[in-house]
Amino acid sequence: MAELIRGKDIKKKIEEELKVEVEELKAKGVTPGLRVILVGDDPASHVYVRNKGKACERLGIVEDTIELPADAPEEKVLELIEEFNNDPAVHGILVQLPLPKHMNETKILYAIDPMKDVDGFHPVNVGRLMIGDPDFLPCTPAGIQQMLIRSGNDPAGKHVVIVGRSNIVGKPIMNILMQKKEGANATVTICHTGTDDVAKYTKKADIIIAATGWPGTITGDMVKEGVVVIDVGVNRIDDDTREKGYRLVGDVAFDEVEPKAKAISPVPGGVGPMTITMLMKNTVRAAKRTIE
């Protein structure tokens, strides 16, 4: 039986650490503040944003979500960002993605003050990570690194194969894990839709990070015995036996891969909870340095 790498449990430990930091900050007169901008009515985005609000409440971070209709002008989002950039009570700004098609995502992400970019998506922060001088790490990849380290699966010296090259997960986790730093220092291979034979690479992996957005991408015959697997996927598949009519599965065929794995993260309860925890960590960090 593979060990389960549960983000849910790791999250609780990190939240305990953060609660202490928030208390210390409050004693010094600083309450961490986060503003979230949510445009449109994508149901998954609404769930994520609600969970972000709940996490802030647990930790004592002041959070406010500004909801705009799907047809709101881009200018409105830019105005809000400008206001939050200039508000000293706001330490972190997050624009929930995806944005409606008529908005220019790049332009909006560029408008956020890099010092308040708790998502780590601003090109300045992306570039800083790339050159080995990171400030804010993007939340999902940072959460994956913590899961590996805290479960005793340090990536240093290991061959990590990432499947998926998105800006939110694949590319930044590559940059994080190949840094010449503790808890990183891995040899990294990225597979993507242009890869001729993904299994050729995954079979050689000590650690696989699956972030393709498709259920069952990584099957049992694609992995070696003793592999460590982090499943970033969150896919809804029809299931009449469930009240909601669907269930959540990852990108990994769990039943096939788990018997061969040393350790594997489940879906749900794996990477998902870590993303928000790392957002909280970034927000506390942003607040902390206003008095350092």
Interacting residues toward ligand GUN by CB under 6 A: 94-97, 119, 139-140, 168, 275
Cβ-based burial of 238 (10 A; exposed 0-12, middle 13-18, buried ≥19) = exposed
Pick 94 or 161: Cβ nearer ligand GUN: 94
Task: Output the residue with the shortest Cβ distance to ligand GUN.
Answer: 97
Residue 229, SS3 per DSSP = strand
Pick 47 or 156: Cβ nearer ligand GUN: 47
CB of 119 vs ligand GUN, minimal distance in Å: 5
Dihedral angle computed from the Cα positions of residues 43, 45, 47 and 49, in that order, rounded to the nearest 10 degrees:
-150
Any catalytic annotation for residue 12? no
CB of 232 vs ligand GUN, minimal distance in Å: 10
CB of 97 vs ligand GUN, minimal distance in Å: 4
Pick 160 or 276: Cβ nearer ligand GUN: 276
Residue 255, SS3 per DSSP = helix
Contact 64, 13 (CB under 8 A): no
CB atoms within 10 A of CB 46: 15
Beta strand segments in the chain, E: 3-4, 33-39, 62-68, 92-95, 159-163, 187-191, 207-210, 227-231, 235-238, 246-249, 261-264
Any catalytic annotation for residue 96? yes
Any catalytic annotation for residue 119? yes
Pick 151 or 275: Cβ nearer ligand GUN: 275
Residue of 11, 116, 117, 119 marked catalytic: 119
Q: Which two tokens stand for residue 26?
A: 């409050």
Catalytic residues, by residue number, are 52, 96, 119
